[in-house]
Structure 1
Amino acid sequence: MTVGMAIQGVSPLSDIGDLAAAWTLDILIPRLCLAILFLSVSLVKLTLRYPIRVYVGANPVVRSIVQRCPSFQKDYRPPSWACGAWAQAVIYMYRSWRNNHLRGFAREVIRLPDGECVSSYWMAPPGPMRDAVMQCKVDGREEETDAIIEALVYHMPCDERLPPIVIICHGVFQNGADLYDFCRFMTETCGYVVCVFNRRGNDMPLSRARFNTVGDQADFRFILSRLREFFPNNGFYGVGISAGSSLLARYLGDAGEECELEGGVLISGGYDMELSLRHMTPLADLVVTTQAKSFFLERNEETLARQDGPGLQRLKRSRSMQEFHEHLHVFDGKASREEYFQTHNPALVLDRIARPVVYINAYDDMCFPGHFTFQYKHLVERCQLATIVHMERGGHGTFYENWDAGSSRAFQCVREFVDCLHKE
C-alpha cells in the first residue's frame, strides 16, 4: 500500500511537458498581447495628426517671423494615449508633482510699494550666470533684495550676446516650481534667462487682504520697471499662461508704445476675462472653483476675515468661477464687479497692443473651449501685430506631443517666436 501511494505521487514525463508548455504560454501570451498593443498604439499615433490654423496680422515683420517658425506650420501630433484635454492635464499634474521643488531656481522676495511681499523665481542658462545665481542659495542670500539680480548683472555678457529675459506670468494657482519644466527648457535649450513673477497670494501668504485671480497691473509694472533699471540693454519678452495671459495682455494693451516688452506669447488665454468664465466646462468650473477656495481663501482666511468677513463668506459659498468673481472686487479694492472687470479685462485693450503678440489656443481646452475662443480669430484684422494659432487638440496650457516636457508645442512656439523676434 505504501509502495502504491509512492508510485501514484510520481509525475509522469507527459505531465512535466504539459506543465512546461503551460508555463511558456503564460509568459508568451501576455508579451504577445503587449506587443500587439504597442504596435496598435504606434499605428494610431501615426494617424493622429491635427492641422494647425494660423491667422496673421498684416504687419510684414510679423508675417516674416511666422514664416520662420516651423512649429506654427507643422501638424500637431499628440500622444495616442493622451490626445484628450484631461489626459494632457494628467501629464502636467504628474510632472508638476514630480518637479514641485526649487531645484535650479533662486527665489527673490520683493517688497511692493504698499508693503505686501511677492516673489520671483530666477533660472539662468548653464554657465557662469547659473553658477552665480545658485551661489546665492548656498550663501543664504537667496531672498536678499537685489542679490540675485546683481549676480546676474555681474556675469552678463558685455557684447551682442546679451541673452533675452523671458518674464513668465503663470496660471491662477501656479508658482515658479510648477513651471520648472518650461523654465529648464527655455534656459538649457534656448539660452534665455527666465524670471517667473509670482503674484499676490500665489507663492507667499497674504499679509494684506488684497488679491485677485489674474494679478495686479501696478505690481507688474513695478516689477518690470525695476528689472529695466538693472538690465537696460536686454530684450524683455513676456509669456502668459491661462490667467497669466490676462495680466500680460492687459499690460500690453494699456502700455501701448510705452511697453517695456519686445513681444509676448499668450497660451490658453480666454481673451475676454468676463465672458470666458461663462463658457468653462462644468467639470473644469467645479475643479477650478474648489481650488480657488482652497488656494486663496483657506490659506489666508484670518487675513481676509479681518478685512471683510461677510465678503469672505460670500466667496466661500460660490459654486462657479463666475459667481466667485461676482464678489471678488471687495478684496481687490474695487467698488463693484463692473469696476473689477473694467480694470482687469484684457478684451477692452487688445486692439491697442503695439508689440508682436501670439495667441495659442486649443479647441478641446476645458477651461476656455474653442467654440468661444476661436471666434477671436478676427482680432488680426484689428491688430496688425497679432498672430493667432488654433489647434484642435492640446488641452489647457499643455500641448504635449510626448511624455517629456520639451515636447510641448507651446514651448516650441515660444522658443521659435522669441528667437526670431530677438534677431530682428
Structure 2
Amino acid sequence: MPARNHAGEQAENALEDLDAAALAYAERRSGASPVQLESLREDLLRYCLPFAARLARRYRGRGEYLEDLEQVARLGLVKAVDRYDPERGSFTAYAVITISGELKRHFRDRTWGVHVPRRVQDLSLEVGHASMVLTSALARTPTTGELAEQLGVSESAVLEAVESAAGYAPASLNAPVAGDGAQEFGDLLGDVDDELEAVTDKLTVAELLLRLPSRERRMLAMRFYGNRTQAEIAAELGISQMHVSRLLSRALAWLREAMLSDVPPRWEGGEARAGHPGMQVSVERDGAALTVRVRGEVDRDTAERLRIGLRHAIGTPGVVSVIVDLSGVPLIDAAGVGVLLDAAQAAAAANAGISVSGAQPYVARILAVSGLAGVLRRC
C-alpha cells in the first residue's frame, strides 16, 4: 500500500510539473523574440515527450507498431503546445484530449482494411469495450440486446458494428486453408455464374421483343413479368382467354425461331393489323366472281362477322364463284374454321364455287389439319 501511494504521488507531481512547465512557457513567450520562442517551444516539447509516450503505450497491442503510435502521439503533443491557452484550464487535460484524439483518428483512418463509415468505426470500438465489460460482469457473452441497452443504441446498430469489425483486418485471399498450403482461401470463392452465360440471350430477346407488335409485347410483359394469368390478361384486353393463349403461343414460337435464326423471320399479320385494327372484310366483284378479302385475326370474337360477310357474298345474285383471300389473316382458330365450313356448305347449296387464296403458313396448316383442304379449293 505505501508503494502504491508513493507511485500515485509521483504521478500527481508529474502532472503538476507538466502544468507548471506549460504555464512558465506561456509567461515567457509573451516578450520573447522568434528565436527565443522557438527555443522555449522545443524545451517544452522535449519535457513533455515522456508523457506522450505513456499515452501512446495505452494503445499498443492493437495491430500497430509502438514506434508508429509514438510518432502520432508526438504530433498530437505539438498541436497541443501550439494551441495551448492558459486561460482555458489545465495543459495536461488539454494535451490528453488532443493526443488521444490523434491516436484514435490514426486507428480510424489508417488501420481499417476496408472503408467503413466513421460512426460505425466508433461504435465498433464501443461495442468491443462494452462486450468486455459485460462479459466480466455477467460471466458469459452478452446478447445483442444487452449490448444495445448498455450503449443506448438499437440492436440493428450493434449488429452493423459487429459486422463492420471484420473490415478492420480482412483475411487475405492468399492465406492457406490447408495444412500443406496447397490451397488458398481465394480458391474457395466464386463459381460459374449461370446468369453470365445467359447475358447474350437476354440481350437478344430484349431486342427481338421490340420487333413484336405492342399488344404482344404487353401480353408477354403481363404474363412473364407481371405474373398475370391468361384469364386476367383477357379481361384487361377485352378478348377471350383462348385468344390470349393463341397469341402468346404464336409470339413465343416466333421468338424461338428468331433466336435460332441469323435474320429474324417476318412477323405475319403485323402490318395489316397496324393499318387496320381488328378484322376487316372487303368485297370486290369481277363479273360473276366475287373476291372476299379478309384482314386481321379470325377467332371467336370476329368469326360471326366473317360468317355474315361470306353469306352475303354467296347469296349475291349472279355470282357463281367466291374467292376468300386470306393473305392478311395471321391467325385463325376453330371458330374461323367453322365459318369457312359453313361458307362451303352455303356455296354448295347455291351451286356456287368457293376457294381460298393467299393463306399464310400458319393458317394453311390449320386448314389442312381441320380437313378443309379437301372441301375448299386453293388458288
More helix by share: 2
TM-score (norm 2): 0.20
Q: Which has the larger radius of gyration?
A: 2
Q: Which structure features the higher share of strand residues?
A: 1
